[in-house]
Structure 1
Amino acid sequence: MRWRLFSLTIAIGGFVACGAVVPLRLLSAVPDIPEAEATAQPKAFSDTHGHWAETEINALDSRNIISGFPDGRFKPNAPVTRAEFAAMVNQAFRNRDSTQPARNFSDVPSNYWASEAIRRAVVLGFIAGYPDGTFRPEGNISRVEAVVALASGLQLAGSTDPGSLYSDAAQIPSWARDQVSRATYNGIRIKGPNANQFRPMQSASRADIAVFVYQALQRYPIAGVITHLDPPAGAITLDEASAREPGFAVRLQLMERNTQVLRVPTRAIANIGFRPAIGSGTISHSDYLVQAGPTA
């Protein structure tokens, strides 16, 4: 069965299918993980209840992007090393296409626990080494370095003056201002106490990184062939062979490990047609999706 292609812009705040408007849930770009893992219940960490980053920590934990410690703690206020950050972004965005050449670092031996994660984070464009050929994996990553890494790796566009949010924006290094502006525009922002201060050179905490990665996932661009609609669930299914945004890949494996169901935002999916297996459409924040009748 095929679906007829057409365009329509209607029904703000809902999804239109066969004449019915169905409320939708917020879009979340789900990494390439099995359904059982993607829907796993988050662990109850002993030290995150009531924490300002509890929502983001639980969300990433439920997707196996981050984890806690054997004693049941998450240690949200502990600093994050460059190696740990590489492991986190590699897990969150592991299906992106490579954009940078691989590099070997003099201080990252092949048997280092995060050597593969560091290699992947580098080729994905999230993080780089130093001019002297080192990576400094055990060094703490700063807030500004983490934000710049996400903005660079995701190739974010747009710009918002950080000074409109942060009273200490003048302390943001000149080399980072452009990427921080892009990140700010795309919703990657400081959260928690004193959120009006960026404190760019402060070591990023595990809570900070959880928030940044969670926010970045909301901006993860996805394009593809829509193969199935489920209005009651507010969901669509994209085919494995879908077209991608430049530089991005979506590996889909929730339904029989070859497709992925995406939740659609209330502001999303318009002016695009769809049909199984052929054609493509891009999900964006200004679109609506309407189902056409089947054709022979």
Structure 2
Amino acid sequence: MKKMIPILLTATLLFTNVVLRQEPVAADLPFNDISNSYAKDAILRLNANNVMKGTSGSEFSPTRSITRAEFMTTLTRIFKVEPAKSAIPAYRDVPKTAWYYGTIQAATELGLTNGLGDGIFKPNQPLTRQEAASWIVRALKQNAAGNSSSNYQDAAMIAAWAKPSVSSITELGLMQGSDGLFHPTQPITRQETAVILDRLLQDTRWTDALAASTNQTIKLGWQYGLSTEAYKKAVLQSNVNVLVPRWFFLESTGKFSDSSVPSLVTWAKNNGKQVWAMIGNRFDQETTHKLLSSSSLSSEAIQTLKSYVQKYGLHGINVDFENVAASDRSLYTAFIAKLAQELHSVSAVLSVDLPPDLDTDWSDAYNYTELAKSADYLVIMTYDEHWGGAAAGSIASLGWVENHLQKLLAQVPSDQLIMGMPLYTRDWSLSSTGATLSYEDITLADQNKRMNQYGLKPKWNDALGQYTMEYRKNGTLHKIWLEDARSLSEKLRLGMKFGIAGYAYWHIGGESPDIWTSLQNAEKYAGYSFK
């Protein structure tokens, strides 16, 4: 087992526990219409714990049908999910100005719902009992299976897509129906909802999981194009816990230049964060070979980097040597092994930036298995799927990212992998035949600005795990495969599924501020382990 970084991997995210108060019912009820409701006690508990609210300051409306927006909002509160202020609305009928926008966006980004298709959610439509069953089973991460639904006398009325969920929720004891009937298409009332969700929150199968703590993942953020002050400001507004300033670069002499800002290390420590300063080779293959092939230059470089760690109080070093010649594969592996040995002697972490294993000369220089034996972490730059000179397309579609993670997991332990996350995308200019004319790298903020400028309505592509949009400028067709809170949440949840060590964001300053709440939600929810 690799040594863990002292601060990050001993810290835990102590998620706010779902603790239900059990005090006796007060004489003065918070709502004037629940005294005769069979769900009164459940309503009081849910209200006291800020899970389910009334329809006004004095009314709960227990017999009224609950809307899709109301139910999903209540469900997300159970899982302590924060409303997401996503820049790109998931549904045409859920405007940003709606009170429920944030919770429906958050639920969609977590995969709890996909709406009714074609970008429609119908937030004010009453929720049916079979829809409620489906949402709850999915939220609890249960495999919708079984045949208990066939025991209901009205089983023929249960939609085919809902039957597995109805079976599961029945076997879980959360919904039973009445008099042998499930009433699948009947709208579920607010008091029925209260009883079901209160039942869930009285069951230790769920509450223990919600109360459990989980290890904090690494969230690395490279500095690029930002002053030190701007970088610090951006980091404070993010989820980043490891700063990676680009301070040391290989020069033509075979030695490293030093543009460090020591005050950033002090600032990071005062804010509970680590600094893994980056060393880069500026894609210079010739100078990199000069360094790797010279025992004197490489030994001197390693001692220099070790001295930087000691001089500046760095927590680690992040090596970013790209465009290394395939013929230098063994030399590079040996250099990393020697560097790791020296850094570990002063309790510093070594992370190495690598492209995915592309089976091309861009990745042939990297022996992933051997590098993982020396370095603490391999940071896989899972982006640039499509790049300049190639056909237009996504820079990091979900399937492409997953395929490369799986390929690497056959070579490297999951707890040593850090997955690259793109905070940029490309605006492609296309000919009438779809051929690439040109492209422009843009930040997520630039992407969102163009969306608003041209009044565009991005379309979600399930297969890619991201939105796409098109527009014309001066008669030329432009297409963008967007990266946003939803697409990045999909990637983060993928990484959590594989148990990787963390995520690396290229680059801080490229983000849209709304992504951080969504990513925090994704990590929190992915950390729940329901039995």
TM-score range relative to shorter protein: 0.5 to 0.7
Query: Deviations for 1:157-186, whole angstroms, at most 9, x for unmatched residues?
Result: 46361243x322221111110111111111
Task: Tell me if structure 2 keeps the 8 A contact 1:140–1:204.
Answer: yes
* Equivalence for 1:229: none
Give the paired residue count.
199
- Give the counterpart letter for 2:46 in structure 1: L
Match of 2:40 in 1: 54
Amino acid at match of 2:167: S
TM-score between the two structures when normalised by the length of structure 2: 0.33
* 3-state SS of 2:126 partner: coil
1:149 to 135, 149, 160: 135
Residue from 121, 124, 144 that aligns with 1:135: 121
Letter aligned with residue 114 of structure 1: Y
With 51-60 and 79-88 compared, the bigger mean Cα shift is at 51-60
**Structure 1 residue 112: Cα displacement:** 1.3
1:162 paired residue among 149, 154, 163: 149
CA change 1:283–1:240 in 2 (3 A) is: closer
Please show how residues 1-296 of structure 1 align to structure 2 within 5 Å: 32=16, 43-70=29-56, 72-95=58-81, 104-157=90-143, 159=146, 161-164=148-151, 166-190=152-176, 194=178, 196-217=180-201, 218=203, 219-220=205-206, 222=208, 241=215
What's the Cα RMSD here? 3.6
Tell me how far 1:79 sits from its aligned partner: 1.0
Give the letter aligned to residue 191 of structure 2: A
Task: Judge conservation of contact 1:190–1:208 (CA < 8 Å) in 2.
Answer: no
CA contact (8 A) 1:67 1:74 kept: yes
8 Å contact from structure 1 (residues 39, 62) kept in 2: no
Checking the alignment, whether the CA contact within 8 Å between 1:90 and 1:117 is kept in structure 2 is yes
Kept after mapping to 2: 8 A contact 1:81/1:141: yes
What is the CA distance between 1:283 and its match in structure 2?
10
Shift of 1:123: 2.2
**Structure possessing the higher radius of gyration over alpha carbons:** 2
1:261 aligned residue: none
Q: Which runs of 5+ in 1 are unaligned?
A: 1-30, 225-236, 248-281, 286-296
Higher strand share: 2
Closer, same or farther: CA 68–167 of 1 in aligned 2, 3 Å = same
- 1:75-132 Cα shifts (integer Å, max 9, x gaps): 1110111111121111111259x9xxx8611111111111001011222332221222
Distance 1:33 1:238, change over 3 A: closer
Percent identity between matched residues is: 26
> Which structure is higher in RCO with an 8 Å CA cutoff and minimum separation 6?
1
What secondary structure does 2:162 align onto?
helix
Alpha carbons of 1:221 and 1:34: their partners in 2 closer, same or farther (altered >3 Å)? Answer: closer
Question: Whole-Å Cα distance in 1 between the matches of residues 212 and 186 of structure 2?
Answer: 40
Cα distance in 2 for residues equivalent to 1:189 and 1:34:
21
Counterparts of 1:105 and 1:120 in 2: how far apart (Å)? Answer: 12
Check 1:33–1:134 CA distance in 2 against 1; reply closer, same or farther (3 A cut): same
Contact 1:39 1:63 in 2 (8 A): no
Q: How far did residue 214 of structure 1 move?
A: 2.1
